[in-house]
Amino acid sequence: MDRRTLLKLSGLSLVGATAGCLEGEDEDTTTATTTEESGGGGGEETTTTEESGGGESSYTIGMVDSLTGSLAPYGERNTRGRELALAAINDVGIGSEGGSLRISVEDDESTNQGGVNGAQKLVNQDGVPLLIGSVGSGVSIAIHDSVTNDAGVVQISQNSTSPELTSRPELLRMSPSGAAKGQALASLVSDDGHDTVAITWINNDYGTGLSDVFAETFESELGGTVAYNEPHDQGQSSYSGILTEMASTDASAWIFLTYANEYTVMVNEGFDQGYNTTVDYYGAESTVADSIIENTAPGSMDGMKGITESAPQDQENYQNFVSAFEENYDATPTVWSAYAYDAVTVAALAIEAADEFSGEALSSVVRDVTRPEGEEVFNFEEAAAVLRDGGSPSDINYQGVSGPVDLDENGDPPGYYQIYSVQDHEYVFGDYITS
């Protein structure tokens, strides 16, 4: 991350990314495609077509998503992105026979074990050669280490950001590594004049990776002091002990690297104790959620700042994605829905490009369809046209609705980030950062 790449675009905001217009997790979830319960384990099978009995082929892949638990507010965002991608793909069809894409979905319950259980069902029972999942970095890593890696199944995480995923090259992802985000967050805090901070981070791979990068950057590169750097457990009813320990330091800034439910509890308890008036709050993307605004008191976190993943607002295919999203759901998407859309689209392109529908064949082409050496294509239809005209996987370069995917040797894409703040109990989005 080059701090000088900060672009002063404060007058601009991400398309639709003002408070009250963000994609809400409690809104009507009517989808543009058909969703039918498959029974057992909270799973569902999603498709835009029914079997016609006329010889039309279909391809079933799996998805492990957070439908319940602490990560449910983020998992629900994926549903709409997934459905829009399926609609676009199945409108074109896969292969010469115009086959349909199906996605069998399992709930990870926002836990590592729940993710492993769901992945085992999809891989061992359903036999999927490609699996999309999950939201939580720890869940994605657990699925990779326990299920997909040994089975030779391609895994694409739609939302996981921990730097730890980079050490597993076969674990691909659509959202960028949190390493650049952690560096940018440290620079933001330092540039605001803070030289002593207190950090609390959720005790999993996401929190560990992001806090390590932040602390290393803040102390070693920026000369600051981390006076408190401790984890907290997921799903607790109170974090007053953590806040008391943070308040006992001389830190002028508190860094919350946690999830929406946990942060909501902390904000409310901090407000009760008046901490929000004595220190400045900072956070990352998981402290941006409508549910936080809805379940905290006005004024309880005004002035908070942070860094969140973003999508380039001037990109035409992102604008088209926003238009389709708003037309179908009467809401404006977050970048997380865009990541889910791209995960499904890259999976479909791999199926279109591969010689056969197997993990080995899909693995051999899935990176190639995103690489910059090929012709830029901005949707599944354009990419399929190149492939069907004799093009190879390396002849296409899919430009995702979330930005260029360009999966590198570690399975990581480049990243777009944006500074956000809380003003009058609303999220306000400003400057952009690129990695």
Sheet of 196-202, strands arranged across? 225-232, 196-202, 253-257, 280-283, 305-309, 416-423, 426-434
- Please check whether residues 183 and 303 belong to one and the same domain: yes
Chain position carrying tokens 């956000």: 420
Residue 207 has pLDDT above 90, yes or no: yes
- Please check whether residues 239 and 263 belong to one and the same domain: yes
Residue count of the chain? 435
- Please check whether residues 155 and 184 belong to one and the same domain: no
- Domain harbouring 304, CATH code: 3.40.50.2300
Asked which of 294, 309, 324 is the last residue of a domain, the reply is: 309
Q: Tally the domains of the chain.
A: 2
123 occurs within a structural domain: yes
Per-residue model confidence (pLDDT) at position 171? 98
Residue 434 has pLDDT above 50, yes or no: yes
- Please check whether residues 387 and 323 belong to one and the same domain: yes
Residue 361 token pair: 């064949």
pLDDT above 90 as % of the chain: 77
- On whether the CB atoms of residues 250 and 197 are closer than 8 A, the answer is no
Residue 202 has pLDDT above 70, yes or no: yes
- Please check whether residues 218 and 268 belong to one and the same domain: yes
Per-residue model confidence (pLDDT) at position 23? 54
369 occurs within a structural domain: yes
Q: What is the mean pLDDT of residues 64-72?
A: 93
24 occurs within a structural domain: no
426 occurs within a structural domain: no
- On whether the CB atoms of residues 109 and 116 are closer than 8 A, the answer is no
The H-assigned helical ranges of 233-376 are 240-247, 260-273, 290-294, 316-329, 335-353, 359-363
Residues 234, 112: Cα–Cα separation, whole Å: 12
Per-residue model confidence (pLDDT) at position 40? 34
- Please check whether residues 194 and 298 belong to one and the same domain: yes
Q: What is the mean pLDDT of residues 139-147?
A: 98
- Please check whether residues 70 and 162 belong to one and the same domain: yes
Least confident piece of the model among 87-96, 99-108, 305-314, 338-347:
305-314
Q: What is the mean pLDDT of residues 40-65?
A: 62
- Please check whether residues 280 and 332 belong to one and the same domain: no
The angle subtended at Cα 106 by Cα 104 and Cα 108, nearest 5°, is 155
29 occurs within a structural domain: no
110 occurs within a structural domain: yes
- Please check whether residues 169 and 192 belong to one and the same domain: no
What does the pLDDT look like over 232-264, one tens digit per residue?
999 999 999 999 999 999 999 999 999 999 999
- Please check whether residues 190 and 168 belong to one and the same domain: no
The residue type of 292 is: I
DSSP state letters, 32-67: SSEEEE--STT-EEEES----SSS--EEEEEEEE--
- Please check whether residues 305 and 322 belong to one and the same domain: no
- On whether the CB atoms of residues 421 and 304 are closer than 8 A, the answer is yes
Residue 397 has pLDDT above 50, yes or no: yes
pLDDT band at 149; cut points 50, 70, 90: very high
48 occurs within a structural domain: no
151 occurs within a structural domain: yes
Residue 12 has pLDDT above 90, yes or no: no
Per-residue model confidence (pLDDT) at position 313? 81
Residues 200, 347: Cα–Cα separation, whole Å: 36
- On whether the CB atoms of residues 100 and 86 are closer than 8 A, the answer is no
Of the candidates 81, 82, 101, the residue with the CA atom closest to the CA atom of residue 91: 101
Per-residue model confidence (pLDDT) at position 340? 97
Phi, psi of 288 (to 5 degrees): -115, 105
pLDDT band at 43; cut points 50, 70, 90: low
Q: Does the reported pTM lie above 0.85?
A: no
End-to-end CA distance of the chain: 5
Residue 75 has pLDDT above 50, yes or no: yes
Domain coverage including residue 359: 58-175+314-416
Asked which of 267, 290, 309 is the last residue of a domain, the reply is: 309
What does the pLDDT look like over 358-379, one tens digit per residue?
999 999 999 999 999 999 999 9
375-384 CB contacts, 8 Å cutoff, 24+ apart:
378/316, 378/317, 379/88, 379/317, 379/345, 380/85, 380/88, 380/89, 380/92, 380/345, 380/348, 380/349, 380/352, 381/88, 381/91, 381/92, 383/349, 383/352, 384/92, 384/94, 384/349, 384/352
Asked which of 245, 279, 309 is the last residue of a domain, the reply is: 309
3-state secondary structure of 363: helix
pLDDT band at 121; cut points 50, 70, 90: very high
- Please check whether residues 171 and 184 belong to one and the same domain: no
Per-residue model confidence (pLDDT) at position 44? 55
Q: What is the mean pLDDT of residues 97-113?
A: 96
Per-residue model confidence (pLDDT) at position 315? 85
